[in-house]
Structure formats: structure tokens, C-alpha cells
Amino acid sequence: MLLAPDPQAAAYERLLPRILAVPKHRLRPLNVDVSTIASRIYGAVRHFPTFAETLAKLPDYRYDVVAELRNLVGALLYVDSAYRTAYAAVGALPELLARAMQLREILIVDARTLIARKLLHPDCLDNLTGRTGGVRVGGDLAVLGAIFANDWERIQGRSGTTKEEIHEANRLSSQLSIAVAEKMNADRPRQAIGERRLQTFTLVVDAYNEYRRGMHFLRAPHGDGERLVPSLWKGRGGRGKKAAETPEQTGDPR
């Protein structure tokens, strides 16, 4: 059995066709902290399993969108991390490279131990470059991540390497690629990830608004819809709230 992928990265990759389908004219401005938004949604979506069956029966209700809300938030956190890496890439490159080289050495040492124990193929490290440039180190981390992930069931617990370190190796590999591109003044990757971030955020807000709409309708007799599924912008005030939350109005979903 292969090591399960980073859940946020997996959610982003699976939902990418839907993300790319969001047209530019529908993009919502992102002027809030993504981690705060994610925390609020995770707090509200914990009630979803209790009401899922009832929500699914509402007429003209986008249940399929709401059912993906948790995964959409995971995708947003992933792409937001990539976005922040892109915009801080040049300054962060030395730190990224230092951490990547340290992790590469740790994984190589553990891999050699596993080879000695005959748990990994003796030639599995042959494709490593061992060089110091960002691209080369990132490539080595990608190779090492694949080596450990592909045989994870057999080697788990037989060395000091954790699955979190394997996920980190893959993330650092991607971040180094972005950082090197930024250093070379390659704007296209940065612009592209910025648009993916807005597209993902738009889907998240749309899904959450639909979740609110259904929950406010179901809980209207009890008057606790706002407590269970509060506004994402609660307490912020200022402009932009009405435009961002128009779909929240709580009438009958029909």
C-alpha cells in the first residue's frame, strides 16, 4: 500500500478541473486571512453530518457542492501556501534550500539503513544528484519522497522517517521550483497560482453560502442557524460584506 498523499494536496489535485472552470468575471476578491476563514468553516462544517440527509432532500439545493466544502477548504489552504511561497520566494530561497538540504541528508541516511536491512532496492538512490542548487536539491527530494512513499507499508516504523517528513519533502520540492522561478524573474508561475487561489476561494465561499442557506432554512424554527453556521465575515464590518454574502439570504431553498 502506498503512503497516503498529503490530504490538502490531494484535494487540490482532484478538484483542479472544477477550480480551473471558474471564469474570471466570477472571481471574488480575497481580502481576508485564509487560515481564519478555514478555521471558521471547519467549525461550522462539523454539523454537516448531522443534517446531511435532510439537506440532500431540499429542492433546488446544491448538495453536491456543499458535500465538497471540507475538501474545498483543504484545497484552498494548499494553494494559499503555494501562493505565499511564490510571493516570498526570492527572500525565502536560502532558508528553503537549507531546510531542503538538511531533510535530503536525513532521508538519504535513513534510506541507506533500509537498504542495508534489505527493505529498499540497493539501486534506489542511484538517481540522486547530490548537488546543491535549488533545482537539483528539489529534484532529489522528489525522488526520495517517491522512494519512501512507494514502499511505505513495508518500511513504516523501520527507520526514523515519518510520513510528515515525506509530505514535507514533496512540498519543499515544489516550493524550491517556485522559488528558483521567481529568482529568474519568471512571473507566469506566480500569476497563475494567484489566479488559482482566487478561483478556489470563490468556490469555497459559494459552497459555504449554499451550506448557510440550507442550514438557515432548516433551523429557522429553532432560531439557531446563525450560531451553527455563522457568517465568514462576522465582526469584520466595512465594505464588501454585502457583496460577498448575498447568497446567504435565508429564504426557502425552493
Q: Which domain holds residue 120?
A: 92-184
Pair 82, 96 in one domain? no
**Concatenated DSSP letters for 126-144?**
TT-----SHHHHHHHHHHH
One domain for residues 180 and 216: no
The per-residue pLDDT for range 19-75, each reduced to its tens digit, is 999 999 999 999 889 999 999 999 999 999 999 999 999 999 999 999 999 999 999
Per-residue DSSP letter, 221: T
Name the domain boundary from 155, 184, 213. Answer: 184
62-119 pLDDT, tens digit per residue, is 999 999 999 999 999 999 988 887 666 556 678 888 999 999 999 999 999 999 999 9
Q: Identify the pLDDT of residue 235.
A: 65
2 found inside a domain: no
Residues 79 and 123 in one domain: no
Check if the beta carbon of residue 210 is closer than 8 Å to that of residue 203.
no
Q: Where a domain ends, among 163, 184, 205?
A: 184
215 and 236 part of one domain: yes
- Number of domains comprising the chain: 2
Domain assignment present for 254: no
- The pLDDT value recorded for residue 46 is 94
Whether residue 185 has pLDDT greater than 70: no
* CA pseudo-torsion sign 145, 150, 152, 154: negative
pLDDT tens, position by position, 195-243: 999 999 999 999 999 999 999 999 999 999 999 999 998 765 544 444 4
Contacts 24+ apart (CB under 8 A), 194-197: 194/83, 194/86, 195/24, 195/27, 196/19, 196/20, 196/79, 196/83, 197/30, 197/76, 197/79, 197/80, 197/82, 197/83
